Structure 1
Amino acid sequence: MTDDLHYHVNGDLEPASEATVSVDDRGFRYGDAAFETMRAYGGSIFRWDAHVERLERTCDALSLEHGLSENDLRARIDETLAANDLADAYVRLSITRGVQPGKLTPRPEVDPTVVIYVKPLPRGGLEGEPVWDEPAVVRSVDTRRIPKEAIPAGAKTHNYLNGILARIELARAADDDAKTDDDTADGARESNDGPIPDEAILCDLEGNVAEGATSNLFFVRDGTLLTPSTDCDVLAGITRETVLELAAEADVQTREARYDLADVLEADEVFLTNRTWELRPVATLDGIEIGGGPITDRLSRLYDERVETSCY
């Protein structure tokens, strides 16, 4: 239960029910903050170095000079896991610009707010189980990915309104589907309920497929693993990077380029990646059945092996 957990807030471990930040914090006021979502397997943070590097890239993009060392941040995470007696867990590290006067222009001097949030997850690796129950039901949405000319696509910030709007659109579309009834001959009404979508797929302003609201997209055609290029408005997920590395090691041909939705709909296999889901096959996209397949299964197995050897 969340009430039994402890979070790490500005150097102190606090019960989750008592963990707070100031209403004057810029992370609350403006989303002026960087974060990383990680997974602990067997007490180890998988690909910690990659997370630190991306966190620093985000902070550089925000000109957020927090002054915290990698060792300091890792010690806080380890303390939080130990305090909650967790070896396998979701871990979120947030660094905000801290409390400053209520003006949009930030001050260069920063007293950062640092929060570590954790929750238990199943064991990973070869003996683990995925956090998801079924392959994902996915739907494309009209909400467009914010262009990197506006907000750097590679920055993982607290400003997640783009993904939130996509998920709201997804939920509304599902509600509309559930309310759509067909009139039968005798005047009775027949429900048209379908499975509730798990994820929204966003395109960029040019109509190229970009990513999910909280995931990266992969698909397979004719034995080649395809994924939208980071030259597009795509956040380069660390799970995405790991999958591409594993594919190269397994001699699976890969291609990063610009694709439209029709390319994905014609795929032999489709799956999503993020740190929590790892690799999740897509059952349907916009109602069209696709599913996983041999390459998805192979990469999932290789991912589990990498986790096992790295962390257990």
Structure 2
Amino acid sequence: MSDDRDDDRVAATDRAYHVDGELVPASEASVSVTDRGFQYGDAAFETVRAYGGTLWRWDAHVERLFGSLDALGMPADELGLSALDLEARVRDTVRANDLADAYVRLSVTRGETPGFAPPAADETDPTVVVLVKPLPRGGSPDAGGESVWDGPATIQTVKARRVSDRAIPSDAKTHNYLNNVLARVETRVTGADEAVMLDDDGHVAECATANLFFVADDAIHTPSLDGPVLPGVTRAEVLDIAREEGFPVEAGAYTPDDVRGADEAFIASSIREIRPVGTYDGVDVGGGPVTTLLSRLYDERVEAACYADNSNEQADGDGDHGPE
């Protein structure tokens, strides 16, 4: 597998995607217009990052995917899907595109059905799609790692609320992302990088595409999973690093004022990793020593797990999966 970034940046039209068990040119990849994932958002997905040919925290991602499928009433085993099978499809797609460092999106839909009511899981023919695109080398900056973002993030509280867990299970990562999309639509006016979504009680839940953290009173705080918060894989990694370093960690219910008045704040996601927050609703917050340290330690974990041996010829799941 090529480690040359120029080689990695394959034009989108020249890429190959994995659709229902077959690698096909991106220009020919398609899903039926009657697929339930298209018609109803009746699907689950995961976004995984490949570093140096290694699928970062693969086991945690596939575990969450299977949890999402369970929440949708279509357990993976009843669909005839296994973690090894899905990993093979992802690895084949990454390899077919000659990528070492990549964004990977794995989707499983309920497939096509004759009517609105979904069939039993064991009577379902799921649609499985793997998309990839190149990313910069990750890991330690001293070893050539690069960030996918440029500068601290500007974040903004929006009117669109996070969907209640009573409506759509908040721990399920599904294609039903409309409220997150509407949240990002609101940021067009200010040009903010991320939208901060509140729950029905006005507490901070999460950003449209990231988990939110802040540092105050000598502790690291993040919204609790008791609220409508997706249990992010990177969120868990950050908390594991923080506890390993002896930082007090608190998960609770917080208002926007709590975050705006914090000593520092950052957002976290699989693709953007750890990004400091510059301003929140126009109020200067900024990163700081804790954010900088966590980011460095995260990079070091990636470097050690994914780039220590660059002789790998295919994307393999790593063996250390932290707290997830």
**Corresponding residue number in structure 2 for 1:97:** 110
**Structure 1 residues 47-86: aligned runs within 5 Å:** 47-65=57-75, 66-86=79-99
Q: Which residue does the alignment assign to 2:183?
A: 166
Structure 1, residues 122-167: CA drift from partner, whole Å, max 9, x if none?
Answer: 1111131110011111110111111101100000000100100101
TM-score, normalisation: structure 1: 0.91
Match of 1:212 among 207, 212, 217: 207
Which of 36, 43, 46 does residue 33 from structure 1 map onto?
Answer: 43
Look at both structures and tell me which one has the larger radius of gyration over its CA atoms: 1
Q: Which amino acid aligns with 1:238?
A: V
* Aligned 8 A contact 2:36 2:113 in 1: yes
Q: Which of 225, 237, 259 is matched with 1:264 structurally? A: 259
* Partner Cα separation in structure 2 for residue 212 and residue 233 of structure 1: 11
Q: Which residue of 1 aligns with 2:146?
A: 129
Q: CA deviation at 1:106?
A: 3.6
* Structure 2 unmatched ranges of 5 or more: 1-10, 308-324
Contact residue 98 and residue 110 of structure 1 kept, 8 A: yes
> 1:311, 1:228 → 2: CA distance?
30
Q: Which amino acid aligns with 1:36?
A: E
Query: Are 1:151 and 2:165 an aligned pair?
Result: no
C-alpha separation in 2, matches of 1:163 and 1:250: 33
Answering whether residue 231 of structure 2 is matched by residue 236 of structure 1, we say: yes
Deviation at 1:107, TM superposition (A): 4.2
Provide the C-alpha distance between the structure 2 equivalents of 1:131 and 1:223, rounded to a whole number of angstroms.
Answer: 29
Deviation at 1:104, TM superposition (A): 3.5
Q: Which runs of 5+ in 1 are unaligned?
A: 175-195
Task: Give the percent of matched residue pairs that are identical in Structure 1 and Structure 2.
Answer: 58
TM-score, length basis structure 2 = 0.88
Higher RCO (C-alpha 8 Å, min separation 6): 2
C-alpha displacement at 1:103, in angstroms?
1.6
**Structure 1 counterpart of 2:130, one-letter code:** I
Number of residue equivalences: 290
**C-alpha contact (below 8 Å) 2:238/2:294 kept by paired residues:** yes
Tell me if structure 1 keeps the 8 A contact 2:74–2:120: no
| Alpha-carbon RMSD | 0.9
In structure 2, the partner of 1:5 is 15
Whether the 8 Å contact between 1:24 and 1:102 is mirrored in structure 2 is: no
Amino acid at match of 2:129: V
Tell me the CA shift for residue 105 of structure 1. Answer: 3.6
Cα distance, 1:253 vs. partner?
A: 0.9
CA apart distance, 1:69:
1.0
